[in-house]
Structure 1
């Protein structure tokens, strides 16, 4: 298996890095990139290489599965490889982090959804990130006023139980501790800094930015290896994040749907699974209806007028398209989001 796995990872990495380097290209041009169009087929091949079918035979009686991937496997949506879709699957960077989470879970006030620390597109260049944050903010009784600087963010941390970030994130393959979330004026909050902050009161952190779930090869017992590991190491109970450079539009709809589920009492793991299934299966007509309801809701909550006009524009676009076509059916749009939680 070793040689086949190494070859598979090498080819995946080469194609992904090429795709990643073409961020300035038009969306339509990137749709035909080999990395994107081959995601599902390549994962099916990986399933055979890892012998997942044989592994499943020994897991017949379980209901929940926690994956702790080894080295390069951290960067892949391994849950997609399992046939049993009734399992509740989540991830952990290491067993030690899982043990730490188990010890602190009793301290959390489970079910509280009242206080949100929201960082909204600090670079101010992502229209759909503003839609996403503008709607999600209305699901919480208390939110932090607009924050764009790292200093203000650090000062606000003790006052909340949830954190949602929309904007730009990046993963540094050669030095994972320098992986970062981007704030105003291109200032970077690194994984190293995050791991030394206190997120013990946080039930949920969502990182709706590119590559926030990637981890390096260092051992987590002695060193954090990426943004997710850093947040979990600093005490957060659950982190939703991304494995690759995500699409701005589909990510906004997925995250809004996720929060609709979560704030109705659904656990993060199930809420994300429901959101991914919905995004994969929704057609243009159904999406237009959902957006119309979202627009009505936004108006009732007096959401910013620019956000409402952007939603109206999206409704008009979907009404002009083939009703039965599924715009986000491709694996690329929804599969890259994962949950790290005990």
Structure 2
């Protein structure tokens, strides 16, 4: 089988195409024939060594993907063979576990049934973005731990960077759960995508009066902020926050240090909540998997231009180009087409 691998940190040139024997699943594992591999910022950052811990082993990149279970190990029901599945955190703690290969072995928990006739492209776009968005939407004081139609009814959500993959998932999940969704973007093209995803209101964060615009749209303030650039947007977030709001930040775009207005954060009991999928508690991850799957089954999570998330496809032997596209902030979802039916 073909696999993309790297043995040292660096640019896309460290990625090479290898030929390996097809592996056999061990106890508690499933083997998935990968159809589509999804690329996220965490994948190129790990390749670069920006998030690395300890010694680097021979590593297959990419956390997310989709495919079909074609073999199972001891302790796994044989009925799972043939299941169409979406994959999450495939490479985390598993050097040969990434999805940029034709066959991958995973703990069966990391291979989730892909509902109905959902596409493999959608399956490969879930994982990191959708589970991160779910966590951001379920950490508010007094808010729901689960998402379903009506669970965010009466709440207002601000999604920073609504044209990004996590932002897109957050808009769609929040709309599905009944929230009023405001999003900030940097231009007309991204505004179109955020509206296609389902945002009720779109504001250009570069406008000097962006906070005022948001306050006019939602006079009572925003209860949940899904934040990609806390260092840049801290002032705006504080200005639009409702009492007892939470700012759930999942990335450090624009800088790694935040200057917070202390009194302005204290008065509304504003909470700043970090979100990193790798360390989210197991029960919260389980809730996210169940709710994301339910949203897919109900048609509430979609991909493609019409859903505000254009798709960019690369073959397996051009995985380096796919990584470069994500690193270069390509708007939309970058996918690697690993194998066909």
Give me the TM-score of the superposition, normalised by structure 1: 0.33
Greater strand share, 1 or 2? 2
Greater helix share, 1 or 2? 1
